[in-house]
A and B are shown apart, each in its own frame.
Chain A
Amino acid sequence: MLKRTRALTALMAAGALFVAACGGDDSSSTDESAAVETTTATEETTAETTGESVVETTTAETTPMATEWAVDTSLCVDPAAADAPIEGTLKIGSAMPLTGGAAAAAFAPVKDGFEAYIQYANEKGLLGDVTLEVAIEDDQYNAELTPGAVNKLIDDGVSIFGGIIGSPNNAAVRDTLNDNCIPQLAALTGSPAWGDVENYPWTTGQLAPYTVESKVYAQKIAELYPDGANVALFHVNNEFGQVYVDAFNEIAADYGITIVAEETIEATDQNPPTAQINNIAGAKPDVIMAVPLGAQCISFLTEVANAKAANAGWEPATFLTNTCASALILTLAGEAADGLYTTGNLVDVNDPASLEIPSVKEYVDYMASLDKSAIVTTAGAGWNTAETIVAILAQAQASEAGLTRASIINAARNFTYTPMLAAPGVTFKMSGAEDPFLAESLVVRQYDVASATFTDIGELITEWES
């Protein structure tokens, strides 16, 4: 009896393990698939790097650091460490979901792009005699594991952290890093929480806040439907989805938008949202604004296509969170993705026209030299994140204090920069507490499945820029 029970238990557990190892991670959440940020074109050219005067040799323009905002290192656990010069090698640490099913598949290119830029920066000598190293630990998108990963990296002598993926993951280490005055740059999420300069001055975000994106959608919907629009909301039932919905609801009435339906899907639910989409179809909205998560993006688009087919004459516009707008996801969605609206602030590398921009071509060529052409689109977010971080470092190095942790965060918070892959008119800017977010301008674009490219719809929306 005992043996049979044990054998049965073990076989069930083994089977479950195989499913877990080979299938998807039931907790995979690719909400901040920064692989989303495929884009248009920048007008910046890549400056030559001399390795001597770092400020002048960054790949795009930076603005000398203003002196308005400076961090108070007296609150640090070790103020001396925050002001200690960094020489020789600067180690950048990060925690990313490298394993765990769908999360790993979505974010692996981000890691590759990140590492590629660091290699590029070293080859170009962008920080002079300071060599950059990257150490990326796997936290499986599990916030329980992120503190361990970060602690390990701190033990290994990491100077700063950058590009940690996931809102709960960044939140899990934010206190430790702020208390110890270790810069936590470019959190790869659009959570508005990273704008809390007063309480968490050492933490900055990389992506446009979800609140801004949501408001941009509202604004564009009002443009497309000047007589008012009925909108249905579909979102993942977690903080990520709720942030979008709350921001949208806040201004919907101002733009003549009426919410006629709201459906949710659980973060761990990988089943197609058939019932939810059928409910939405029943309300016959003009627009569906959707915030699904990771692989749910594909099933959502597919179900909407099915619902359209089943409801002749109903052709709602679909506005989809830009975290879904990665080449990987849209390719898998196929025809169902045709015509969807989303946003971005980086170049669409898939668009052949973008290769006419020298900095974009340089990126594409460099990735080809690393034999990473296959992921050149999805790696762009990682490249862009690393580029932003290196530009901050260069600015800090050029400051009076030289390269220290304190000067790095000061540079980050007084920063203006146009990345290699930025869309026209996009400038990354932070200015102390007045402008705590790096990127708040977005362009709405529409996806064409035949060419697998995006077309900008209208101008860059800068209304929400601080």
Chain B
Amino acid sequence: MKSLITIRQGSAANWALRLAVTAIVVLVVLWVPRQGGGLITTTIEALTLMSAAMALNLVLGYAGQISIGHSAFLGVGAYTTGIMVSRWGLSPWVTFPVAFVIAFVVGVIVSFPASRIKGVYLALVTLALGLVFPYLLTWKKLAWLTGGGAGLPNADSEVATTGFDIGLAKKGKMQFFEVFGWDPFGDLRKPEAKAAFWYWIALVVAVVVYVVCRGIVKSRVGRSLVAIRDNETAAAVMGVDLVRTKALVFGVSAGLCALPGCVIAIKTGGVSPEGILSLTVRGAITFLIVMVIGGAGSLWGPVLGALLYTFVTDKTGEWADDAAIPGVLRPIFSWAQIPPADGMFAILLIVLMFVAPHGIAGTWRQYSHRVVRIVPRPAGAVGSAPTAAPSGPH
């Protein structure tokens, strides 16, 4: 089908388009922290959800392994941070790599059943993980570590880390965040400064998760994952080591999912299954919904899905009150006694499965070429990838 606009890869127009998209993204990223604390906090929720959904996308979207237990990995991150900071007085920043490693190991262990079972059965096993995990956290025999049912106390850090200068206000709370002498936020006790600070932390985590995911997807491992997803037997025949690849993807996915858990733990200042819903099964289902709506098997799918889910949930949060519903939508939603976000997304999921099974990102990819089509450089053209030398006797 002919496109409205055709752009050759590497052309000036192509670069202009890339720069324009990048500029828009950068502008939005810089614009958000200048807004009110409410918008910033909602964006932080979207970023942490995005990170978890991107991590899940590696396992489910690319490798085709159903997991409904990723909330447990997020919980591993949250509790690693909570335990290390509140019990051992360590800086929260050093807990990020530790949480990644611990969650990686847990993920690898979880991958062992994945090498034996598939589909619904694997979903049930991971669901069991998601269900059991909060109980483990509140188990009295582990209370010496996890704090049991009462949870861990306030995880605010009192310790400075290498290379950063964390000023100490009363009670050892973080008041300033200086990076080698530069203080970009000012007094972190101010709500807007604190919100902006956490926004950048959550954004950095989301970018790290994205970059790692992209690196894996674009690599040979990524191609192996897709091969496993599409046909495990064929993948095995073609030389993909199923056990090792699944272990790797589960491990990395779990480790990446732990990072937003660390952010949530520090930001919330206390860790318990009651206080952090994202580490219960409800969290795991939310990651799944976000990923599917945004587009499984797409790098940008979880990003779009998380933004849509968080902002729609936030905006419709007051719609239990009819007066808060915009006039044109009132006849549709005035029957609901509770905000309709959950029901809306349930219906959207079912509709998407019939109309756009690849989610928002997949549908965009499918139809965007009708508007703009980027034509790849022909093989052998200047600047294109070198072709193999012809074989044969010389």
| Partner of A6 from B119, B230, B282, B292 at Cβ < 8 Å | B292
Known: A17-B289, A26-B280, A179-B189. A268 touches B134 (CB 8 A): yes
A1 to B63, CA, bound (A): 12
Contact A155 B36 (CB under 8 A): yes
User: Which B residues are CB-close (under 8 A) to A451?
Assistant: none
B297-339 CB mask vs A (1 if < 8 Å, else 0) is 1000000000000000010011010000000000000000011
Contact A17 B342 (CB under 8 A): yes
- B45 lies within 8 A of chain A by Cβ: yes
User: Which A residues are CB-close (under 8 A) to B296?
Assistant: 6, 9
**Chain B residues with a Cβ closer than 8 Å to the other chain, count:** 75
User: Which B residues are CB-close (under 8 A) to A1?
Assistant: 64, 229-231
- A362 lies within 8 A of chain B by Cβ: no
Which of B42, B154, B273, B352 has the most CB atoms of chain A within a 10 A radius of its CB? Answer: B273
Which of A104, A145, A239 has the most CB atoms of chain B within a 10 A radius of its CB? Answer: A239
User: Which B residues are CB-close (under 8 A) to A237?
Assistant: 138, 140, 148-149
A142 to B161, CA, bound (A): 31
Contact A18 B343 (CB under 8 A): yes
Nearest residue (CB) in A for B346 is A17
User: Which A residues are CB-close (under 8 A) to B297?
Assistant: 2
- A7 lies within 8 A of chain B by Cβ: yes
Please give the distance in Å from A239's CB to the nearest CB on chain B.
4
| Partner of A10 from B44, B148, B292, B317 at Cβ < 8 Å | B292
A1-22 CB mask vs B (1 if < 8 Å, else 0) is 1110111111111101110110
Contact A18 B346 (CB under 8 A): yes
| Partner of A7 from B68, B191, B277, B353 at Cβ < 8 Å | B353
- A351 lies within 8 A of chain B by Cβ: no
A247 to B353, CA, bound (A): 54
B30-72 CB mask vs A (1 if < 8 Å, else 0) is 0000001110111011000000000000001000101010000
User: Which B residues are CB-close (under 8 A) to A138?
Assistant: 317-318, 320, 339
- A241 lies within 8 A of chain B by Cβ: yes
A111-155 CB mask vs B (1 if < 8 Å, else 0) is 000000000000000000000000001100011110110011011
- B278 lies within 8 A of chain A by Cβ: yes
User: Which B residues are CB-close (under 8 A) to A98?
Assistant: 320
A154-196 CB mask vs B (1 if < 8 Å, else 0) is 1110000000000010011001100110000000000000000
- B194 lies within 8 A of chain A by Cβ: yes
Q: Give the size range of A's interface with the partner.
A: 35 or more
A290 to B37, CA, bound (A): 41
Which of A13, A18, A137 has the most CB atoms of chain B within a 10 A radius of its CB? Answer: A13
A375 to B7, CA, bound (A): 65
Contact B272 A168 (CB under 8 A): yes
A77 to B268, CA, bound (A): 20
- A242 lies within 8 A of chain B by Cβ: yes
Contact A239 B149 (CB under 8 A): yes
- B82 lies within 8 A of chain A by Cβ: no
User: Which B residues are CB-close (under 8 A) to A29?
Assistant: 274
| Partner of B276 from A99, A144, A238 at Cβ < 8 Å | A144
Contact A27 B342 (CB under 8 A): no
- A423 lies within 8 A of chain B by Cβ: no
- B171 lies within 8 A of chain A by Cβ: yes
| Partner of B292 from A9, A99, A171, A179 at Cβ < 8 Å | A9
| Partner of A238 from B66, B149, B191 at Cβ < 8 Å | B149
- A463 lies within 8 A of chain B by Cβ: no
| Partner of A267 from B149, B156, B169, B285 at Cβ < 8 Å | B149
Contact A8 B120 (CB under 8 A): yes
Nearest residue (CB) in A for B357 is A6
A30-43 CB mask vs B (1 if < 8 Å, else 0) is 00000000000000
- A199 lies within 8 A of chain B by Cβ: yes
| Partner of B268 from A172, A241, A266 at Cβ < 8 Å | A172
- B255 lies within 8 A of chain A by Cβ: no
Please give the distance in Å from A340's CB to the nearest CB on chain B.
24
Please give the distance in Å from A387's CB to the nearest CB on chain B.
24
Known: A7-B357, A175-B269. A27 touches B282 (CB 8 A): yes
- B217 lies within 8 A of chain A by Cβ: no
Besides the contacts A6-B292, A13-B285, A25-B282, what 17 more A-B pairs have beta carbons closer than 8 Å? Answer: A2-B64, A8-B120, A11-B353, A13-B288, A27-B282, A138-B339, A148-B314, A155-B37, A171-B154, A172-B275, A175-B269, A237-B148, A238-B138, A238-B150, A238-B274, A239-B149, A242-B150
5 tightest A-B contacts by CB?
Answer: A152-B38, A151-B37, A237-B149, A148-B41, A179-B189
**Measuring CB to CB, which residues of chain A are less than 8 angstroms from any residue of chain B?**
1-3, 5-14, 16-18, 20-21, 25-27, 29, 75, 77-78, 98-99, 104, 137-138, 142-145, 147-148, 151-152, 154-156, 168, 171-172, 175-176, 179-180, 199, 236-239, 241-242, 264, 266-268
**Measuring CB to CB, which residues of chain B are less than 8 angstroms from any residue of chain A?**
36-38, 40-42, 44-45, 60, 64, 66, 68, 119-120, 123, 134-135, 138, 140, 148-151, 154, 156, 169-171, 173, 187, 189-191, 194-195, 229-231, 264, 267-270, 272-278, 280-282, 285, 288-289, 292, 296-297, 314, 317-318, 320, 338-339, 342-343, 345-346, 349-350, 352-353, 357-358
